[in-house]
Structure 1
Amino acid sequence: MSRRLRAFKRWMNSQNIEYAKNIEIIDKGINNGISIKANADLKQGDIVAKIPKNACLTIKTTACSEMIQDAGLAGSLGLAVALMYEKSIGECSLWAGYLQLLPERECGVPLVWTLDEVDQFLTGTELHKAVKDDKSLVYEDWKENILPLIASGPLELDPMAFGAEQYFAAKSLVSSRSFEIDDYHGFGMVPLADLFNHKTGAENVHFTSVSSPLSNTDNDSDAEDNEYINNHHYESTEHLSTCKNGSPAALGGKNISESNDIELSSNSEEDSDHLEMIIVKDVKAGDEVFNTYGSMGNAALLHRYGFTELDNPFDIINIELNMVLEWSSSLFSSRYSRARLSMWRRIGYCGCVSQNSEYFEISSDGEPQYELLILLYIIFLTDEVYDKLNQTVPSTGNLDKDVGILLLHKNTKRIPLEIPDMAKNYLLTDNVCGALVSLADIRESFYRLNSLRDDIQSLSSCCVRDRKLYHSMVLRVKERKILNNLRAYASSRSHKYKKRAVLRKNRR
């Protein structure tokens, strides 16, 4: 057993953190991290750990809690300040035994990469712009909120421990390791719970937030739930999305896997000062006990946690609305494209929205977002049909409209919007399918000159220990494969459309 692990276990004992003998904490070294293994078969319902809430590092439990509250800091910003402060006081910190186990920063998280590294590894990917924006916003957070505390705060803060670099490092740890505890504590660092590694679709540790008796809020609202995903909260500089798969520009929305194996929750109403880790799916002896952060694509995983997965079924790639408009304007006029976009909005549609960006998701199998298909279809409407539609749809829009009105020149049957699978059969015309291929080609051009084959070869020869290169290459290759899948999707649907047209003609 390593020295740092022995120190951590002594600290857990001092804080009354209990864990079962049938799980083992494995220290693989500073470069390889820590994992949790089952020493015996774990059955559903087994309690494997019990963690007092006051052993969690939060803005309520930290020694600088009063300073944080007086400064009006909260969320990940406040927690990052708490983490920096506790680290700055060394052995005097109540969490010294825990903090010595943590890395200085989560090196795989692009937030702490240099700008040169961001350009080198992420150009063309979903993360390139998002990470640059993050770095700028996080620096502004530091300048506006942390710098004044150093200059004139109530505590004599060490400038060397509260610099911009230290703040970025703390943010990377908070981003990748914090959990929601309850309404009173908010988010915090939860010792032991943050040591379980992630594996998509194989969750062994699940964190359930519960209300503390000290909370000022009686009930959690759905709106608050929508601000969190997979038991963690996102960077304060990030905004929520209306989409579902956790794209990097839209890291929001709760999305907990149904294959949980361990649950972390309060023991009971009478014992809400503790969190319990409970097995909710059997684990065999010798197997690693996993957590999962939900149904997240590789861009979201790398953005927040610093790693990717080769076989991630939740991967997506985005097609930005601006790119669609530029493509449309290259075929038609800008005025024409804006008018068709306006009609699309009047009918009641929009893309995914995050920060100042609007975009459409393409799933891992290449299927485009339904809203994109409708927009492309409207772009290709004949003037006659468009004018008829323009006269029919009120300027204020109507969410109850159906796509049948778009299809009057083809079919008198009205196809309701609430049945997208049926509507797609009509929306995927040759023009729309050709547009999808063109958009895939434009998006592909973002990846410099290397071909996908070159990238696959580079990935196969890349060492996993070179984390920045390896995980950025996984992201890049997976994104480009999705673009290939989009082309294949469009080509196959176009062929089916032609086949349907021939069959209809033969029936006549």
Structure 2
Amino acid sequence: MAAARRMRGFKRWMKREEVECSDALHISLSVESGGAPSISVKASCDLMEGDVVATIPKRSCLTVRTSAASRIIEEAQLGGYLGLSVALMYERSLGPQSKWFQYLQILPSREPIPLLWSLAEIDSLLCGTEIHKIVKEDKALVYQDWKECIKPLLGSASLKLNPDFFSVDEYLAAKSLIASRSFQIDEYHGYGMVPLADLFNHKTAAEDVHFTSVSYYSESDIDSDNQKRDSDGENNGDDEPMVQDFHSEMGGFRSELEFESSSTSGNDVMVMQMIICKDVNSGSEVFNTYGSLSNAALLHRYGFTEPENPFDILNMDLEIVLQWSSSVFSCRHSRRRLSLWRKLGYSGCDSQNSQYFEISFHGEPQAELLVLLNIILLPEEVYHELELALLAVGNSKQITSRLVLEKYNFLIVKAAKLSKELLLTRNVCQALLSLADAREQFYGSNSLQDDIKSFDERCQATEHKLYHSLRLRICERRILKKLRSYAASGLK
């Protein structure tokens, strides 16, 4: 009953705000046992590619510009996601007086992303996974933002903010909603909450809808812009809407919708249209896609994982490689070989202050890792030959050393063009097996089979944190298993 009442309120709100939702869409809202709304969008009839199923005015979006807190945010000089968090918390504090009250009523109070888990839960459930360290760092940074930027607002008597809605817990809750539901609207509004567009669930590589921004110019706007657009050949004088297509491209947020407009006043009329991009059968759920993301990224940003996610990857930190190298050779040997690898123009992937190598869903290591292992394992005379040749010419492309060109020319070719068969020597394969074992130790004493047994026997989908953290562990450890098979095939 509560869910039906909330949905009726949201539909009245959409009508008032001129948000057009096709009768072909059925928004299903249920309230779970904990009181959190669960939302899905289904097709109430067959949908065809190209059908426009929703139109959303830009002014109906909750942004730092449209919020009743816009003056507070501007005076406090809070931009980006921080400013949007304040806008969201402020609108919630207004209750029924908020312009977005009925919209906010159908949203959960928070999303179950790991950022909101306790430190004990993070350590026990995410141990060894790609996001264990990242989530702990995120928590510390978010608390610092709250302490430095939001807490001081509560001390202002003139603002009269209700502290119950601006606590660090409420800030975390707002951050979780923004992380999973916000869209980049345009330069003027920045990021914002886009009602209706944020209700579609995700399915990897299987989107049913995409979005376009349509900008309608007034007659005076067209008159003032005609000369430039005519000279550019972009307008024939007809009063036609300008349309720009875009698909979901994931950064740290659900869908960064890049609009063509760069308005500085926000007065131009712009709407977002939701268009079916492939046929959908009646009764089927209509999915958006948040991007081609691994389970680690999905859990980190949105609070869930997917089985057999083809975009899953595992990262092998450079530090693990250097620790293995130092245990086999020496720290000095490892530093020198790493330096040569870099001089030859190679690098791994960067994340803040660390470097890592990706292991694909199929267990194949990044070519740059194979090159580094080859260089670490080079015979000493070849290493010196390469080092001297580089000192002499200063560029790996100019190396003409006979020894290098005869046996190790593949090391000075771009990684993208390298043959992994050449790089996959017996010693490199043995090194990969050692690296897999070292990475496996991060997960603790439980084996992969133990995790699978726990997932199958004890874990229920209702146990959200355990369910998705175990699936992440299992997916990552299966990639390590595939890496071992990849290395073993090279040994044969």
Aligned pair partner of 1:455 in 451, 455, 466: 451
- Are the counterparts in 2 of residues 417 and 423 from structure 1 also a CA contact under 8 Å? no
**In the TM superposition, what are the counterparts of 1:149-168 in structure 2 within 5 Å?**
149-152=153-156, 155-168=159-172
Matched, 1:101 2:103: no
For the structure 1 residues 234 and 335, does the alpha-carbon distance in structure 2 shift closer, same or farther, using more than 3 Å as the test? same
Equivalent AA in structure 2 for residue 126 of structure 1: E
Equivalent position of 1:242 in the other structure: none
- Secondary structure at the aligned position of 1:319 is classed as strand
Counterpart residue type for residue 120 of structure 1: S
Aligned equivalents of 1:475, 1:45: Cα separation in 2: 36
In structure 1, the partner of 2:423 is: 427
- Alpha-carbon contact 1:180-1:233 (below 8 Å) kept: no
Alignment of 1:87-98 (within 5 A): 87-98=92-103
SS of match in other structure, 1:206: strand
Q: Residues 450 and 414 (structure 1 numbering): CA distance in 2 closer, same or farther, change over 3 Å?
A: closer
Structure 2 counterparts to residues 103-502 of structure 1, below 5 A: 103-107=108-112, 109-152=113-156, 155-207=159-211, 230-231=248-249, 233-234=251-252, 272-394=269-391, 398=395, 408=405, 410=407, 417-418=413-414, 420=416, 422-461=418-457, 462-495=459-492
C-alpha contact (below 8 Å) 1:264/1:277 kept by paired residues? no
Greater displacement, 416-425 / 7-16? 416-425
In 1, Cα distance between equivalents of 2:401 and 2:283: 58
Q: Give the match for residue 25 of structure 1.
A: 27
SS at match of 1:304: helix
What SS does the aligned partner of 2:31 have?
coil
Give the counterpart of 2:16 among 14, 17, 33: 14
User: Retained in 2: the 8 A contact 1:16–1:51?
Assistant: yes
Q: Structure 1's 264 and 16: CA in aligned 2 closer, same or farther, altered over 3 A?
A: farther
Quick one: distance in 2 between partners of 1:51 and 1:481? 43
Distance of aligned partners of 1:231 and 1:52 in 2 relative to their CA distance in 1, 3 Å threshold? farther
Q: Which residue of 1 aligns with 2:74?
A: 69
Counterpart of 1:355 in structure 2: which amino acid?
Q
Q: Is the 8 A contact 1:444 1:480 kept in 2?
A: yes
Alignment CA distance shift 1:165-1:14 (3 Å): same
Superposition RMSD in Å:
3.0
Change in 2 beyond 3 A, CA 1:229/1:345: farther
State the identity %: 54
Mapped contact 1:370–1:420 kept (Cα < 8 A): yes
Cα deviation, 1:320-347, whole Å, max 9, x if unaligned, reads 1111111110011111100111111111
Give the corresponding residue for 1:238: none
Asked whether the 8 Å contact 1:302–1:308 carries over to 2, the reply is yes
Structure 2 distance, partners of 1:212, 1:358, is 46
Aligned residues: 456
Work out whether residues 125 and 479 of structure 1, in 8 Å CA contact, stay in contact via their aligned partners in 2: yes
**Secondary structure at the counterpart of residue 445 of structure 1:** helix
Amino acid at match of 1:458: S
Change (3 A) 1:69 1:332: same
After superposition, what is the alpha-carbon deviation per residue over 1:431-479, rounded to whole angstroms, capped at 9, x for unaligned?
1111111110000011111111111111112101111000001000000
2:393 & 2:152 partners in 1: Cα distance?
47
Residues 447 and 164 of structure 1, relative CA distance in 2, 3 Å threshold = same
- Consecutive unaligned residues of structure 2, counting only runs of 5 or more, are 222-227, 229-245
TM-score (norm: length of structure 2): 0.86
Question: Which has more helix, going by share of residues?
Answer: 2
- Cα 1:77–1:210 change in 2 (3 A) is farther
Question: How far did 1:119 drift?
Answer: 1.1
